[in-house]
Amino acid sequence: MPVIWHPSANFGPRRDGLTPSLIVLHFTAMDSAQVALDRLCEPLAEVSAHYLIGGDGVVWHMIQEQDRAWHAGAGEWYAIDDINSRSIGIELDNCGDHPFSEPQMAALEKLLPEIMARWAIEPAGVIAHSDIAPERKYDPGGRFDWQRLARQGLAVWPTPVADLPADANQFRALARGVGFTADVPDTVLLNAVRLRFRPWGQGALCAEDMAVLAGLAKGNISTNGIDPAFDS
């Protein structure tokens, strides 16, 4: 896997002695990887990430992992903020409107295990930008293949728990229990959960949405196989 060291000045020390426990995946939403790279390294932009992966599978390493990149912004996960001090940020060259390329996914699948091993990050710690900032962000979006990562133990995917009726209060409680603690309206929360686990879902909250979170809450998680009945 080609990795190009291309340093960015947009970083600082991790605060309060924190070390990475999360990996946050993003899409760039820019015209090209080069345009994204230039912006992530432009001091006036005040944004950065540890890595950028192009559609051709080229990986740029911009910030040392022990340092704090500026990729996550305001947000929280399990009611904990300062995600930048707790995470590694990976940008993927994509606008969210088309599938992520095979070379790009293959490069990500080589990079993730290395980072996870260095920092003892579990599959549940590989999350979406939209997970932590659901009212502001929707990347990496509904076209990103989380199931593919889960099959390799690089993320989690729920095996649903059936027979739960749709209930907004219970849905929010379940969502909080699996990390979605941002104080957002019900519709925003539902969209964030669906972006991650049911991107094909439409309409009002339904039993299938409940089943996803119930499966996660009960630890009914697949990392090496996906329930084919739910892959639709």
Give the active site residues: 91
Among 133, 120, 117, which residue's Cα sits nearest to residue 25?
133
List the structure tokens of 139: 């990347």
Give the chain as a DSSP string: --EEE---S-EEEPGGG----EEEEEE--SS-HHHHHHHHT-GGG----SEEE-TTS-EEE-S-TTEEES-S-S--BTTB--GGGGEEEEEES--SSSPPPHHHHHHHHHHHHHHHHHHT--GGGEEEHHHH-TTT---S-TTS-HHHHHHTTSS-EE---------HHHHHHHHHHTT------HHHHHHHHHHHH-TT--SS--HHHHHHHHHHHTT-EESS---GGG--
According to DSSP, the residues that pair with 92 across neighbouring strands are 27, 53
C-alpha Rg value of the chain to the nearest Å: 17
